[in-house]
Each structure stands twice: as structure tokens, then as C-alpha cells.
Amino acid sequence: MIRSSNPALKESSFLDINSGTVVRGGNDVMTLNGTVNKTGMLLLLCVLTASFAWSQVSTPAGIVGAAPYMWGGLIGGLVLAFATIFKKEWAPITAPLYALVEGFFLGAISAMFNHLYDGIVMQAVLLTFATLFAMLFAYRSGMIKVTEKFKLGVVAATGGIFLVYLASIVMGFFGVNIPMLHESGMVGIGFSLVVVVVASLNLVLDFDFIENAVAKGAPKHMEWYGAFGLMVTLVWLYIEFLRLLSKLQSR
């Protein structure tokens, strides 16, 4: 069984819905190198639009105009993400579009955080990629064993975090905030640390999913799909690092 808490990376992603068998791509199949290359392409596209959005809103006056980039990128990214998840064969087109649109959101929100805490963005970027390579090393070296219990634990923890965030959004409409999500006390910092750890462990599940998809001979377009799923986790991890660092610096 292949399990991932990332909604983009799950067993049904490369199964035929009717027969329940693996959809193979013949000679033109998914490869690990191809997925790595496409992940790099998506990151590059994201950086390009993030840099543009950053340049537009990085000044104190420009911060006022950050909302269109942030909300446009967030909503557009969600639409493209769901389109990619439900129509995975569209991934060669929708995954690059997702990276471009998500870049606007990341550039704008990064500029806002950097305006409040100078230097925080570079710290978050370095921590995100350091975590990526550390988790990849731990996975490839066998330090972290992707057992069924491990998968169940990470999936359950991720689901719990999602429910907490969902509750925070719903309660926010009524003017009620959950302190541990937004405050810089020990509870708030501890919660952010837990979320960062869970997001990091999701990277291991993503690696496992991609490796299994390659072994099963998934179609070539799944390279884009796997790269997209990995990027979803990286974006989440980066945002959580920003939140954690901002809480630490505000103390």
C-alpha cells in the first residue's frame, strides 16, 4: 500500500480507477531523474515570479499593494492544485502554471514577513532546503524506515494539523483566534515546531511515493505530477518556517 498525507501523492494517483491496476506508460515511463529535473524546473519558475512579486512590494510603500499578489497567487494556486490533483494527466501544463502562480503568493508574503523581520526570508529558505536534503539523505540511507505505522502516524498528524487550521479559519470569521497558532508564547512556538517536524516527515512520504511510482512504471506525465506533489510540501514547509521564525524573533 502506498500512503501519503499529501493529497497530490496517493496510491490512486497512478491507478486505473475502474480496474484498480497500475497504469503503465509502456516504454515512455516515469523516471527518477526525470522527476528530479521537473522539480527543479518548477522551483525555478516559482522563484522567477516570486522575485517579480518581491520587487513590486518589498518597499514600505509597496507593502500596501501586496494583497493582489498574495490573494491572487493563493486562490489561483489552489484552483490549479485541485485541477492537477483531479486531472493528473494535465500535470505537464497545470504543474508549471501552479509554480508560476504560487510564486506570486510566496513573493508577496515573503516581502511582508521580511518587512517585519529583516533577514527572515533567507533564513526560512536555507532551513527549507537544508531540511529537504537532510530528509532525502535520511530516506536514502535508511535512517528513516517508511513502514506502514510510520505512514499512518504522519498521515494522522497531518490531518490533525489540517483540522486545527480549518477550525482557526472558521473561528476567525467570528472574531475568535486560537492563541497557539498566532502568539509567540511557548505554546505557540511549540506548536509551530511540531508542524515543521510533521511537514518535514511528509517529505519522506513524498520520496517514498515517487520511488514506488517509478518502480511500478507509472506514465511519463507522472514525473510532473510527482514534482508538483513534492513542491506542495516544500511550499508548506517554507511557510511554516516563516511562521516559526517570526514567533521566535518577536519575543
pLDDT of residue 6: 59
pLDDT of residue 251: 66
Which residue would you say has higher pLDDT here, 64 or 230? 230
Q: What percent of the chain has pLDDT over 70?
A: 86
Q: Which of 25-39, 80-94, 96-110, 113-127 has the lowest mean pLDDT?
A: 25-39
Confidence of residue 61 (pLDDT cuts 50, 70, 90): low
pLDDT of residue 105: 96
Confidence of residue 106 (pLDDT cuts 50, 70, 90): very high
pLDDT of residue 166: 85
Mean pLDDT over each residue of the chain, to the nearest integer: 86
Is residue 19's pLDDT more than 50? no
Confidence of residue 125 (pLDDT cuts 50, 70, 90): very high
| For the chain, domain boundaries | 29-250
pLDDT in tens, 160-201: 999 988 888 887 777 777 766 777 778 888 889 999 999 999
Is residue 20's pLDDT more than 70? no
**Three-class SS of the chain:** CCCCCCCCCCHHHHECCCCCCECCCCCCECCHHHHHHHHHHHHHHHHHHHHHHHHHHCCCCHHHHHHHHHHHHHHHHHHHHHHHHHCHHHHHHHHHHHHHHHHHHHHHHHHHHHHHCCCHHHHHHHHHHHHHHHHHHHHHHCCCCCCHHHHHHHHHHHHHHHHHHHHHHHHHCCCCCCHHHHCCCHHHHHHHHHHHHHHHHHHHHHHHHHHHHHHCCCECCHHHHHHHHHHHHHHHHHHHHHHHHHHHHCC
pLDDT of residue 10: 55
Q: What φ, ψ does residue 15 adopt, rounded to 5°? A: -105, 145
Confidence of residue 243 (pLDDT cuts 50, 70, 90): very high
Name 219's Cβ contacts closer than 8 Å, sequence gap at least 6: 14, 23, 24, 25, 28, 29, 30, 89
Q: What is the mean pLDDT of residues 67-73?
A: 90
Q: What is the mean pLDDT of residues 123-133?
A: 96
Q: What is the mean pLDDT of residues 69-82?
A: 93
